[in-house]
Amino acid sequence: MANLTCDIRLNSKLTPEQREKYQNIQTVQDILKSSKTIAIVGLSTESTKASNMVASYLQDEGFTIVPVHPKASEILGEKCYPSVADIPFPVDLVDIFRPPHEIPEIVEQSIKNGAKAIWTQLKIVNFEGADLAQAHGLNVVLDKCIKMEHGRFGGMLHWAGMNTELISAKRRAV
């Protein structure tokens, strides 16, 4: 893993202090390394929507996704649940593509589920929900794209000409 890292802006409106707390670079890497099962709240059935593209990517990269959708029965070959509260087994991470005001309720359900971490995608920020999750010992990342972060540390985002802000003279870990 690269030693020198600057926190990439990626249009985040968070202050440097908030970025340290809610976009902590070590937390991001810990979540990516330790999670295997990821609930995706707000996963669209349409294949060109961001949520669907991210979920498809996570499957390709070996994660098991658990779609959360109010009506659909199956997305990307996986059984859907109407809410996080309906998932009958604990997930490692809850990745959220829903408007900010819905975050506290999703967090409450995630805590009951036994999830270990909460992640909100780009532009989705709710500090109340984030603090609730952190108070219950969950890892939290706000306002970041999980696909981009996975690709950033894996070296694949770089192929897209993105500024990953990772600098290191050591060999990249396999």
Secondary structure of residue 60 in the 3-state scheme: helix
| In the complex, least distance from residue 45 CB atom to another protein, rounded to whole angstroms | 14
Give the nearer residue to another protein in terms of CB position, either 116 or 144: 144
Angle among Cα 59, 166, 125 to the nearest 5 degrees reads: 60
85 burial via Cβ count (<10 Å: 0-12, 13-18, 19+): middle
Asked if 145 interacts with another protein (CB under 8 A), we say: yes
Asked if 72 interacts with another protein (CB under 8 A), we say: no
Asked if 76 interacts with another protein (CB under 8 A), we say: no
* Rounded CA separation 103/96 (Å): 8
Residues in region 5-34 near another protein by CB under 8 A? 9-11
Asked if 38 interacts with another protein (CB under 8 A), we say: no
Phi-psi region of 173 (alpha: psi -120 to 50; beta: other; left: phi over 0): beta
Residues lying near another protein in the complex (CB under 8 A) are found at 2, 9-11, 47-50, 53, 56-57, 60, 122-123, 145, 151, 155-174
